[in-house]
Structure 1
Amino acid sequence: MTALSLHPTGPPRSAPVRKKKAIRGGDRLSATFMLAGVAIALIWANLPGDTYEHFWEIPLGVSIDQMSWTFTLHALVNEGLMTLFFFLVGLEVKRELTIGQLTDRSRAVVPIAAAVAGLIVPAAIFILFNLSDGDAGAWGVVISTDTAFLLGALALIGPTFSARLRTFLLTLAVVDDIGALLVIGLFYNSGLNLLPFVIAVALMVLTALVRFLPVGRGFAYAVLGAALWGAVFLSGVHPTLAGVAVALLIPVFPPRRSDVERAAQLTQAFRESPSPGYAAAVTRSLRDSISINERIDTGWRPYISYGVLPLFALANAGVPIDGATLRDALMSPVAWGIVAGLVLGKFIGITGATWLVRQTGWGQLAPGLSLHRVAGGAALSGIGFTISLFLVPIAISDPHTQDLARVAVLAASVIAFGFGWAIISIGDRIAPPHPVGFKLARPVDPHRDHIRGPMDAPYEIVEYGDFECPFCSRATGSVDAVRDYFGERVRWVWRHLPLDQPHPHAQEAAQAAEAAGMQGKFFEMAVTLFAHQKKLERDDLFAYAADLGLDTEKFAEDFGSPKVDHHIQDDRLDAEIMDLNTTPTFFLNGRRHIGPYDSASLIRALEAGPAREIHVHKKPDASASGAAEPPVTKKD
Structure 2
Amino acid sequence: MERRTSWRTIRTESGAAVLLVVVAVVALLWANSPLSESYFGLWDVEIGFSVSGFGLHMNLHHWINDGLMVVFFFVVGLEVRQEFAHGSLRDASRARLALIAGVAGVALPAVFYILIVAAAGGDGLGGWGAVVGTDTAFLLGALALFGPKLSGQLRVFLLTLTVVDDFLAVSIIGIVYSDEIRLIPLLIAVACLAGLWLLGRSRQWSATPYVLLVIVLWFATVDSGVHASLAGMVAGLLIPAYPTRRHKVVAARQLFRDFWQSPSAASARAVDRGLARGISVNERMHEVLRMPTALVIVPIFALANAGVDLRGGVLVDSFQSSVTWGVIVGLVLGKLLGIGLATFVAVKLGAGRLPEGVGMGSVFGGAALSGIGFTVSLLVIGLAFGSTSDLGRQATVGVLVAMVLATALGWLIFRVAAKRLGEETADLPMVLTPPVDPEVDHIRGPEDAQLTLVEYIDFECHYCAHATGSWEDLRSRFGDDLRYVVRQLPHHPHGPIAARASEAASNQGMFWPWLDFVFTRQDALEREDLIRYAEELGLDVAQFTADLDSAAVRARVERDLESADASGAHATPTFFVDGRRLLGSYDARTLTSALEASRRGTRTQEVRS
1:221-300 to structure 2, matched below 5 A, reads 221-300=210-289
* CA shift for structure 1 position 391: 0.8
* CA shift for structure 1 position 357: 2.8
Q: Aligned pair 1:177/2:177, yes or no?
A: no
1:355 alignment partner, one of 328, 336, 344: 344
Q: Aligned pair 1:437/2:424, yes or no?
A: no
* CA shift for structure 1 position 419: 1.7
1:44 alignment partner, one of 21, 27, 30: 30
Whether the 8 Å contact between 2:32 and 2:308 is mirrored in structure 1 is yes
Whether the 8 Å contact between 2:359 and 2:423 is mirrored in structure 1 is no
Name the counterpart of 1:581.
570
Whether the 8 Å contact between 1:36 and 1:310 is mirrored in structure 2 is no
Aligned residue pair count: 593
2:110 alignment partner, one of 99, 119, 123: 123
Specify the code of the residue in structure 1 equivalent to 2:424.
P
Whether the 8 Å contact between 1:459 and 1:612 is mirrored in structure 2 is no
Q: Aligned pair 1:420/2:420, yes or no?
A: no
* 1:521-563 deviation digits (Å, cap 9, x = unpaired): 3334433442232333344334434443444444333322222
Whether the 8 Å contact between 1:589 and 1:612 is mirrored in structure 2 is no
Whether the 8 Å contact between 1:458 and 1:611 is mirrored in structure 2 is no
Whether the 8 Å contact between 2:430 and 2:568 is mirrored in structure 1 is no
Whether the 8 Å contact between 1:24 and 1:155 is mirrored in structure 2 is no
Whether the 8 Å contact between 1:358 and 1:365 is mirrored in structure 2 is yes
Whether the 8 Å contact between 1:129 and 1:336 is mirrored in structure 2 is yes
Range moving further from structure 2, 506-515 or 155-164: 155-164
* CA shift for structure 1 position 377: 1.8
Change (3 A) 1:526 1:187: farther
Q: Aligned pair 1:508/2:502, yes or no?
A: no
Q: How far, CA to CA, are the matches of 1:188 and 1:536 in structure 2?
A: 57
1:366 alignment partner, one of 339, 355, 374: 355
Change (3 A) 1:537 1:188: farther
Q: How far, CA to CA, are the matches of 1:23 and 1:566 in structure 2?
A: 46
Name the counterpart of 1:631.
none
* 1:227-246 deviation digits (Å, cap 9, x = unpaired): 11122233332112222222
Name the counterpart of 2:46.
59
* CA shift for structure 1 position 120: 1.7
2:18 alignment partner, one of 11, 32, 35: 32
Q: Aligned pair 1:340/2:333, yes or no?
A: no
* 1:412-435 deviation digits (Å, cap 9, x = unpaired): 111111222222234434436157
* CA shift for structure 1 position 332: 2.0
Structure 2 residue matching 1:446: 3-state secondary structure: coil
Name the counterpart of 1:3.
none
Specify the code of the residue in structure 2 equivalent to 1:409.
V
Specify the code of the residue in structure 2 equivalent to 1:156.
L
Gaps of 5+ in 2: 603-608
Q: Aligned pair 1:569/2:558, yes or no?
A: yes
* CA shift for structure 1 position 311: 0.9
Whether the 8 Å contact between 2:47 and 2:60 is mirrored in structure 1 is yes
Structure 2 residue matching 1:461: 3-state secondary structure: strand
Gaps of 5+ in 1: 1-8, 10-17, 614-635
Change (3 A) 1:176 1:444: same
* 1:243-266 deviation digits (Å, cap 9, x = unpaired): 222222222222232333333344
Range moving further from structure 2, 376-385 or 432-441: 432-441
* CA shift for structure 1 position 484: 2.4
How large is the RMSD of aligned CA atoms in angstroms? 2.9
Specify the code of the residue in structure 2 equivalent to 1:79.
D
Whether the 8 Å contact between 2:48 and 2:57 is mirrored in structure 1 is yes
Specify the code of the residue in structure 1 equivalent to 2:486.
W
Change (3 A) 1:456 1:577: same
Name the counterpart of 1:93.
80
Name the counterpart of 1:12.
none
* CA shift for structure 1 position 388: 0.3
Q: How far, CA to CA, are the matches of 1:183 and 1:497 in structure 2?
A: 44
Name the counterpart of 1:468.
460
* 1:44-73 deviation digits (Å, cap 9, x = unpaired): 322356433332122233223334433111
* CA shift for structure 1 position 178: 1.8
Change (3 A) 1:441 1:184: same
Q: How far, CA to CA, are the matches of 1:127 and 1:190 in structure 2?
A: 22
* 1:354-396 deviation digits (Å, cap 9, x = unpaired): 3223333444433433322222221111110000001112233
Whether the 8 Å contact between 1:256 and 1:470 is mirrored in structure 2 is no
Name the counterpart of 1:487.
479
Name the counterpart of 1:154.
143
Name the counterpart of 1:478.
470
Specify the code of the residue in structure 2 equivalent to 1:422.
L
Q: Aligned pair 1:104/2:91, yes or no?
A: yes
Change (3 A) 1:215 1:554: same
Query: TM (normalized to structure 2)?
Result: 0.89
Change (3 A) 1:451 1:283: same
Specify the code of the residue in structure 1 equivalent to 2:430.
F
Change (3 A) 1:182 1:509: farther
Whether the 8 Å contact between 2:124 and 2:391 is mirrored in structure 1 is no
Change (3 A) 1:67 1:109: closer
* 1:564-600 deviation digits (Å, cap 9, x = unpaired): 2222222112212223222100112222122322222
* CA shift for structure 1 position 226: 1.1
Specify the code of the residue in structure 1 equivalent to 2:499.
A
Name the counterpart of 2:58.
71
Change (3 A) 1:204 1:534: farther
Q: How far, CA to CA, are the matches of 1:148 and 1:28 in structure 2?
A: 9
Q: Aligned pair 1:80/2:67, yes or no?
A: yes
> Percent same amino acid at aligned positions?
43
* CA shift for structure 1 position 112: 4.2
Q: How far, CA to CA, are the matches of 2:417 and 2:437 in structure 1?
A: 39
Range moving further from structure 2, 56-65 or 89-98: 56-65
Q: How far, CA to CA, are the matches of 2:503 and 2:33 in structure 1?
A: 75
Specify the code of the residue in structure 2 equivalent to 1:412.
A
Whether the 8 Å contact between 2:222 and 2:228 is mirrored in structure 1 is yes
Name the counterpart of 1:620.
none
Whether the 8 Å contact between 1:368 and 1:433 is mirrored in structure 2 is no
Specify the code of the residue in structure 1 equivalent to 2:405.
I
Change (3 A) 1:216 1:585: closer
Whether the 8 Å contact between 1:141 and 1:392 is mirrored in structure 2 is yes
Name the counterpart of 1:405.
395
Change (3 A) 1:28 1:96: same
Q: How far, CA to CA, are the matches of 1:484 and 1:61 in structure 2?
A: 61
* CA shift for structure 1 position 611: 9.1
